[in-house]
Amino acid sequence: MAVSESNRKAIRKYDAEHYTMLSVRIPKELLRQFKEKCAASGDSQAKIIKEAIEAYLNK
């Protein structure tokens, strides 16, 4: 089912109000390993990063 333009606009507005982008520089090999492990386990990369940040904040 196609997403309407008004629905896309609402999603973009919500994202702009509630989310931000995080950019990091890491070694290519480390990123390759991370992506492979996420793919093998079926976990999303964003989920793993969010959980790591939450764990760090709660320590």
In a domain, 30, yes or no: yes
19/12 Cα distance (integer angstroms): 10
Structural domain boundaries enclosing 43: 25-59
Residue 39: CA count within 13 A, CB half-sphere: 6
Q: How far apart (Å, rounded) are the C-alpha atoms in residues 19 and 30?
A: 25
Q: Is residue 56 included in any domain, yes or no?
A: yes
Number of domains the chain is built from: 1
Confidence check: pLDDT of 1 > 90: no
Among positive and negative, which fits the CA dihedral 14, 19, 23, 29?
negative
pLDDT digits (tens, 9 = 90+) for 24-38: 999 999 999 999 999
Assess contact for 45 and 35: CB atoms under 8 A.
Answer: yes
- Segment 7-59, tens digit of pLDDT: 999 999 999 999 999 999 999 999 999 999 999 999 999 999 999 999 999 99
Structure confidence at residue 14 (pLDDT): 97
Q: Measured between alpha carbons, how far is 33 from 37 in angstroms, rounded to an integer?
A: 6
pLDDT at 21: 92
